[in-house]
Amino acid sequence: MGIKLRRSREEKIERVMVGLAIVRDRMERRVREMTNRSRQLFEQVVAAKMEGDEERAAILASELHQLRSMLNVAIRNQLMIEAVVNKLETIRDIDEFRKFIGPIRSLVSSVAPSIRGVAPEIGHQLQTVQEQLEDLSFEIGTVPNLYLPPIEPDEEEVRKILKEAAEVAARRLRESTPEPP
């Protein structure tokens, strides 16, 4: 009976590791997509600045600020998930896993809401992992959850984006327009 129970726990740990690896890979892909979109939006802000369309530039800069805020959350969460996956890959013994299940569960629980906000489809996969961790936690013992508050973006970022875009636009205009004799 003891061997069967141990094997069952090991299989559950393996399922958690596979689920987190899927979340990690999806987060990586999502961060790449958001980074590309961020570059595109910045180029659009620069183009609007070059055309003198300040209203459009401000709207695009605001959108870019929101995207960068979500990107920062996504990157932070991606790094946390990566750390959990790496830790789980180094843990092979149930007794060792018992030491880390509480902090791992806490970390996944703290990351889940912001991942759902950035990438709902990835949040669904993470929900499954959370449920598996909860089951495993009850089975082998639990440690209280830790709360990690979300990082709030700086509202000054929109002005910084507009300033940066204006500088790039001015430089590009200088480079593309010949100096008068």
Residue of 121, 117, 123 whose CA lies nearest to 150: 117
Which of 62-66, 140-144, 155-159 ranks highest by mean pLDDT?
Answer: 62-66
Give the Å distances, CA to CA, from 62 to 3, 56, 122, 174.
58, 10, 25, 26
Average pLDDT, the chain: 75
The H-assigned helical ranges of 91-148 are 94-118, 120-140
Q: All domains of the chain, ordered by start, with CATH? A: 2-176 (1.20.1260.60)
Amino acid (1-letter code) at residue 51: E
pLDDT tens-digit map of 88-141: 777 655 566 666 677 777 777 777 787 877 777 887 777 888 787 777 776 665
How large is the average pLDDT for residues 53-71? Answer: 91
The predicted model scores a pTM of 0.62
pLDDT at 43: 93
